[in-house]
Structure 1
Amino acid sequence: MDSSNSKPAAEVAQDVSPMFKIYEDGRVERLIGNEIVPPSFDPKKSVDSKDVVIAVSVDHRRAPENPVPCAHEDSWAALKWVASHADGQGPEDWLNHYTDFERVFIYGDSAGGNIAHHMVMRLPREILDGFNVVGIVLAHTYFWGKEPVGDETTDAETRASIEKMWRAACPGTSGCDDPLINPFVGSSLANLRCKKVQVHVAEKDLMRDRGWFYYEKLKESGWGGEAEIVESKGEPHIFYLLSPTCDSVVAMRKKIASFFNEI
């Protein structure tokens, strides 16, 4: 077969394995995180979930195809859309009839935990009456910083690889002390607009000490709410996606369910 006219394969411009690869032609190969959980109904727990198609979606645009802060802006737009139902007159009847907008919880893991934090910090602006975020759950949250905290790794190569991933996701960033990745820069945690926070960390996660640092700084900030932290021993980052039925996941789910039900 004559292959004289075939184009050579594009070279890898940035290899941010095991997350994604960016090629010189602009193509992004996402290596993990492509699975989507469909909506479902559990009759034993009377829990119903539904996908809603609107102008925006919590299934936000993802970096590096759409650089940070696109995901934050998409999530904020979705949060405002949900809040527009607080008076019972929103465009989605399912939310109008079944949602208690006085008891709203936000959950996020990894990069989603980062977004969840920023959404709650931003709540005083443009939010509607009757929409009350009482608590957030932050699991294995993707925070970082230029200087190590706690027992965080000081290995130069490891820290450089994390910064490389961040710069690939947010090309316009000032670095790892950008407030979008380092919540201790540019604002006070005392401004967090909810009354309860549950932080989850994993013993073998590179982000573990950031979670502990967030928890400690939140308590010291004068915030005035209640915070708790839960550590999963012997587990890596987002282990609950890798082994969703293991004992550690069951324990974590019970902690989160208790957090929701106690408020």
Structure 2
Amino acid sequence: MESISIPRADPADIAHDFFPFLRVYKDGRVDKFLHTPLVPPSDDPNTTGALSKDVFISPENKVGARLFLPKTVKPDERLPVLVYFHGGAFVIESAFSAQYTAYLNSVVAEANVIAVSVEYRLAPEHKVPACYEDSWAVTKWVESHSGKQGPDPWLNDHADFGRVFFAGDSAGANIAHNMAVRASNAEEGGIKPLGLILAHPFFGNGKPDKLWQFICSDFNGWEDLRLNPMAHPNVLAGLVCKKVLIVLGETDFIRDRGVLYHEALKKSGWNGELEVVDFEKEGHVFHLLNQACENAGILMKKVVSFLSV
């Protein structure tokens, strides 16, 4: 992730300053301070280990996904499906960024899975719950291929809907959890994920969060199910996934919330397989910021093992 120059501004013109993510001006302008370059999908699997392409289920607002298919896939082979939700505090980043494209290329090539990296609308231009609604719309689009009659041939030909996983990092881990909650609701129907991977999950910081309050169009307090699932053990107990992997980092500024989520899930009565991997001296989303580091490689092996069923 790259930083961009922060423009000088008269304090009198600023309505909200959420450094290092964004600044909102009284006239409605928004400056965002962190940037990862966008890159096109790849049709050269010899370089990336995977083919990729972009699909849009709502072209007018660019809600869709980047799909990844391993170069080694056989014509009749059915593969696990990884539905991935990117992080970025709900306000920055993209499924089409260099950072996430490189990471999903590696996961797909090493784990031999199909990946659907979700592109959802960002706040504050599109306030919560837009990110959740968009992510659910893409999840339902993925589900439309379960009868091999969907709009995308990769999913029709190769997706094994008995082996679907949701995953994400930071705010994306929050979204992944909430998509699993929604999928667990019998009234919603849809995909029933086998597993859930939450890397450095954002579930608040244990105190009032001004950014969360600002980006919510429907703010309803700090025990909001979306933000604080630990306050809703009955919902945690109802998760349909059979296993959950939680990734923590010793110096991550929101590590404690991931620990609390683990403890709450364990105590809730949920009867799946729960695993935590905690990396010493590593901070928030270290595996994305330095994908070549030793611990990122160790985590990749853990993720590959988790997806191998």
Of structures 1 and 2, the larger Rg is shown by: 1
1:226-241 matched pairs, under 5 angstroms: 226-241=273-288
1:69 aligns with 2:129: yes
Q: What are structure 1's unaligned runs of at least 5 residues?
A: 1-7, 149-158
1:187-224 residue CA offsets vs partner (Å, 9 max, x unmatched): 52111121010001111112111111111211211111
Aligned-residue CA RMSD in angstroms?
A: 2.2
1:110 aligns with 2:113: no
Quote the residue 1:53 is aligned against. Answer: 56
Q: 2: CA distance between counterparts of 1:38 and 1:232? A: 32
Quote the residue 2:193 is aligned against. Answer: 133
* Alignment counterpart, residue 167 of structure 1, candidates 196, 213, 222: 213
The code of the aligned residue for 2:152 comes to: E
Change (3 A) 1:238 1:20: same
1:29-69 residue CA offsets vs partner (Å, 9 max, x unmatched): 12125444543454499643322122242210011111111
Change (3 A) 1:46 1:237: closer
Quote the residue 2:203 is aligned against. Answer: 143
* Alignment counterpart, residue 26 of structure 2, candidates 24, 36, 41: 24
Q: Does the CA contact (< 8 Å) of 1:144 and 1:177 recur in 2?
A: no
* Shift >6 Å, 4+ stretches: none
Q: 2: CA distance between counterparts of 1:136 and 1:19? A: 27
Q: Does the CA contact (< 8 Å) of 1:202 and 1:236 recur in 2?
A: yes
Q: What are structure 2's unaligned runs of at least 5 residues?
A: 1-8, 65-117
Q: Does the CA contact (< 8 Å) of 2:129 and 2:217 recur in 1?
A: no
TM-score normalised per structure 1: 0.83
1:144-164 residue CA offsets vs partner (Å, 9 max, x unmatched): 26xx4xxxxxxxxxx55xx11
Q: Does the CA contact (< 8 Å) of 2:192 and 2:240 recur in 1?
A: no
Residue 241 (structure 1) shift: 2.7
The code of the aligned residue for 1:184 comes to: M
Change (3 A) 1:24 1:65: same
Change (3 A) 1:45 1:30: closer
* Alignment counterpart, residue 301 of structure 2, candidates 249, 254, 260: 254
Q: 2: CA distance between counterparts of 1:48 and 1:197? A: 28
The code of the aligned residue for 1:221 comes to: S
> What is the number of residues matched between the two proteins?
239
Quote the residue 2:139 is aligned against. Answer: 79
Q: Does the CA contact (< 8 Å) of 1:199 and 1:230 recur in 2?
A: yes
Change (3 A) 1:44 1:18: closer
TM-score normalised per structure 2: 0.71
